[in-house]
Amino acid sequence: MQQTVMTYGSFQAVTPSDTTLINCRAICVGGAGNLTVSKDATSPGVLFTVIAGQTIPVMLEQGRIMATGTTATLMVALA
């Protein structure tokens, strides 16, 4: 069985915000906690419980990593 390895061409540090829109293909989390992600500017967020070092493969196109409900730290958006 072959394992798929994702590669990314860019990255940026993320400060959670209920209003800032971002584009990414995954979110790398440095510090464990909760991560609230919304697929767009108006949808309610979905809560993920994450561990330190985890990468969440979620594609956001004008989505949000929300401050409300997010306790995870040291996040990087990968695109």
Query: Over the stretch 6-40, which tens digit does the pLDDT of each residue have?
Result: 889 999 999 999 999 999 999 999 999 999 999 99
What's the whole-model pTM score?
0.88
* Residue 6, pLDDT score: 81
Reference 57, options 21, 24, 23, 18; nearest CA is 24
Q: What is the pLDDT of residues 61-71, one digit of tens each?
A: 999 999 999 99
Residue 2 has pLDDT above 90, yes or no: no
